[in-house]
Amino acid sequence: MTEPLRLLAVHAHPDDESSKGAATMARYVREGARVMVATMTGGERGDILNPKMEKPGIRENLAEVRRQEMERAREILGVEQRFMGFVDSGLPEGDPPPPLPEGCFAVQPLEVAAAPLVKLVREFRPHVILTYDPNGGYPHPDHIMTHRVSMEAFEAAADPDRYPDAGEPWQALKLYYHVSFTKEWMTTVFGELERRGIDSPHLATLREWSEQEWPESWEATTRVPCGEYFAVRDQALFAHATQIDPDGPFFAVPVEIEREVWPTEDYHLARSLVDSDLPEDDLFAGIRSDLPVR
């Protein structure tokens, strides 16, 4: 027997793990890998995005509610999960935007913000790390800082001279960015809905999304087949009840159609210390055959 494959997904807030890469994680868990989610903040400054959850006591206790939601999503996906202990920075709005709150995650010095993640990398010893691109996937300050701490941890966790109190050094072998909700994905799935004449109250919204200008995305070097786990992904999303409106446009595309036209979750290989042929269909390509025997 070889040691189990280990995947670490680094996210900014509770619910991010269920909207980005959830089906991939569910697939690898079912195949015997260990999957850990590192959640950098508690999501304390998030909005309530599901109108059905505007109930007495929810907003006042949002931090605890979101922890409970995260636990339900964790159980559905079958992953392990740790909160890294930082406070949500919120998404500043205005022109110019107001300063970020004192003490929040996004204003921490890099070595302070990365220290818990370096410790987790050395403890969990992932072969692969998933994170956001330098723009955070979208420019939320916590997502951008999550990218920064992920890159720091990938490099620093292997260096015995850095973070000396964080455990024995460990070198992850690959690091990927999520490539999600691209222009290509949007136009493909929306075009299929139109081709089939499927009626939805959200068609106007989907048409607007598919026609608007989207930022240029990273090349998808790696497409992981995981369509059979899209329903698990959606169950995990529903567990984040304050953040996900089940009647919203996010769920306007039937899972069976999504499986047919886009049955993968996609990634960009940003760092690798092993050889693998691109394009890939496996995050552990180049790693599986080299694991030591227990």
List of residues 6+ apart from 174 with CB closer than 8 A: 127, 128, 129, 269, 271, 272, 273, 274, 283, 284, 286, 287
Contacts of 214 (CB under 8 A, 6+ apart): 182, 183, 186
Q: How far is CA 73 from CA 18, 124, 170, in A?
A: 7, 20, 28
Is residue 268 part of an annotated ligand binding site? no
In the block, tokens 């304050």 appear at 242
Q: Cα(281)–Cα(225) distance, rounded to whole angstroms?
A: 7
C-alpha 111/C-alpha 153 separation (Å) is 9
- Distance CA(201)–CA(193), nearest Å, equals 12
Q: Does 13 show up as a binding residue in the annotation?
A: yes
Q: What are phi and psi of 237, to 5 degrees?
A: -60, -45
CA distance 29 to 23: 10
**Sheet strand arrangement including 80-86:** 80-86, 34-41, 6-11, 128-131, 174-179, 264-272, 222-225
CA torsion, points 74, 77, 80, 85, in degrees to nearest 10?
A: -40
Bridge partner list, 177 = 131, 268
Which residues, in sequence order, are bridge partners of residue 6? 34
Annotated binding site for Zn(2+): 13, 16, 143
Annotated binding site: 13, 16, 143
